[in-house]
Amino acid sequence: MRPKTRIMYIEDKSQGLEGDAVIGRVTFSKSGRSVHYTGRTFQSLNGSGFKENYFDVETGARFWISGCRKDGADRLYAGGSPVRIDDDVREEYWSVIRGLPESMSRVTT
């Protein structure tokens, strides 16, 4: 059985409430309690975090990881820097999630 994957919003919260963010494809563990992205493993905080819901199991850095919003307002705080979109998910993100296929050439939100 193939592991479940999903395009998700991933924001680094280790430096404060607003951090670098990316939209990319994650792979879920069998239990669903952790996700894998670009060689990193993120474990769920099970609701114990403040403005973060996962931590990097190797570094302890805190992250906010969530499904992408159709309106593109994924950041918890408006006005942050643009969110990078991984090349391998850009077409699906703009056409399926956002419903804006004309924006497929954009590399940030």
Could you read off the pLDDT of 24-71 as tens digits, one per residue?
A: 999 999 988 899 999 999 999 987 777 889 999 999 999 999 999 999
Split at pLDDT 50, 70, 90, the class of 99 is very high
pTM: 0.92
Per-residue pLDDT at 35: 97
Nearest to 23 by CA among 37, 39, 4: 37
Task: Tell me what pLDDT residue 32 has.
Answer: 85
**pLDDT band with cut points at 50, 70 and 90 for residue 15:** confident
* Closest of 108, 105, 102, 104 to residue 22, by C-alpha: 108
Return the SS3 of 23. strand
What token pair was written down for 69? 């919003």
Beta bridge mates, 24: 8
